[in-house]
């Protein structure tokens, strides 16, 4: 398996120097997103590609699984944030339901670390603000068996301090504030300040929501 290592231009969202793999193989593509305008855009873009045999659309994880089992798409573009659903979790489910389907995660707002994406079974990640030609090229490369990850990807999501990351990791393990304080040799009050900062940065209201959002962003496994 080869890995596409793109050369970055002045914008950190646009790859350059992309070359497509040769071959006339026709690909079935499944787009998994909860926004109609995204489906419209991908249908328009992929419909112009001579190598696309069929473009399927799913607006939920359940619909994506049903279509994957029925049609066995070669590649699935899965939005990283599907409303209340996690794109990484949908990726794992798709891979289990249709092992021959390779998943390319996409997002317009967030990022996921390559290791987290690979752990979920994804073969790549692209941003929705990439040029259409580059997204189409990434789809084809993944469909032909390659991987698409930008090298040296910066950590996604809000910037966290080292201490906040330690607290987040322990919160994800189910530790109480008192247990975190003992583990990190901090006072319970200091731990409370760190968790409050985490909630604010992640836009979370409680521990469960903070862990869920952190997992979606690839901040924790």
- Residue 52 CB neighbours (<10 A): 21
Give the C-alpha separation, 206 to 221, whole Å: 19
What is the C-alpha separation between 168 and 10, in angstroms, rounded?
Answer: 33
48 within 8 A of 42, measured Cβ to Cβ: no
For residue 152, pLDDT beyond 90: no
Residue carrying the six token digits 């120097």: 17
The reported pTM is 0.62
Task: Supply the CATH classification number for the domain 3-10+24-148.
Answer: 3.40.50.2300
Q: How far apart are CA 12 and CA 10, in angstroms?
A: 6
Instruction: Say which CATH class 162-216 falls into.
Output: mainly alpha
Whole-number pLDDT of residue 151: 56
With a CB cutoff of 8 Å and minimum separation 6, the contacts of 106 are 33, 77, 78, 79, 80, 125, 126, 127, 128, 135
The gap between the terminal CA atoms of the chain, to the nearest Å, is 24
Question: Of the ranges 2-11, 63-72, 79-88, 112-121, which is most confident?
Answer: 63-72
Alpha carbon distance 51, 91 (integer Å): 23
DSSP assignment of 93-154 equals HHHHH-TT-EEEEEESS----HHHHHHTTEEEEEETTS-HHHHHHHHHHHHTT-EE--TTPP
- Of 146, 133, 53, 58, give the one whose Cα is nearest residue 104: 146
State the pLDDT at residue 12.
35
For the chain, the residue count is: 221
Among 184, 187, 220, 189, CA closest to 202: 220
Higher pLDDT, residue 56 or 158: 56
Q: pLDDT value at position 72?
A: 95
Task: Check residue 158 and give its pLDDT.
Answer: 65
Cβ count within 10 A of residue 188: 14
Instruction: Name the residue ranges covered by the structural domains of the chain.
Output: 3-10+24-148, 162-216
- Which tens digits make up the pLDDT trace of 192-205? 999 998 888 888 88
Identify the three-state secondary structure at position 54: strand
Give the residue-averaged pLDDT of 15-29. 61
Closest by CA position to 79, among listed 33, 145, 132, 139 = 33
Task: Give the model's pLDDT for residue 153.
Answer: 46
* Predicted confidence (pLDDT) at residue 5 exceeds the cutoff of 50: no
pLDDT band at residue 21 under the 50/70/90 scheme: very low
pLDDT at 130: 86
């Amino acid at each position: 398996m080869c890995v596409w290592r793109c050369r970055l231009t002045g914008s950190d969202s646009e790859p350059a120097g992309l070359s497509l793999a040769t071959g006339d193989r026709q690909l079935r593509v499944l787009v998994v997103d909860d926004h109609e305008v995204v489906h419209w855009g991908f249908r328009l873009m992929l419909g112009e590609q001579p190598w696309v045999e069929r473009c399927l659309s799913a607006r939920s994880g359940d619909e994506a699984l049903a279509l994957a089992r029925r049609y066995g798409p070669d590649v699935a573009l899965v939005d990283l944030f599907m409303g209340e659903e996690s794109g990484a979790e949908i990726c794992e489910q798709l891979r289990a339901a249709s092992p021959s389907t390779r998943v390319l995660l996409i997002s317009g707002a967030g990022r996921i670390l390559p290791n987290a994406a690979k752990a979920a079974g994804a073969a790549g990640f692209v941003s929705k603000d990439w040029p259409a030609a580059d997204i189409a090229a990434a789809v084809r490369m993944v469909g032909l068996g390659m991987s698409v990850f930008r090298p040296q990807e910066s950590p996604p999501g809000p910037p966290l301090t080292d201490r906040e990351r330690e607290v987040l990791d322990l919160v994800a393990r189910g530790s109480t504030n008192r247990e975190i304080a003992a583990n990190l040799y901090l006072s319970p009050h200091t731990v409370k300040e760190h968790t409050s900062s985490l909630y604010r940065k992640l836009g979370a209201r409680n521990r469960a929501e903070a862990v869920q959002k952190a997992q979606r962003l690839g901040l924790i496994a």
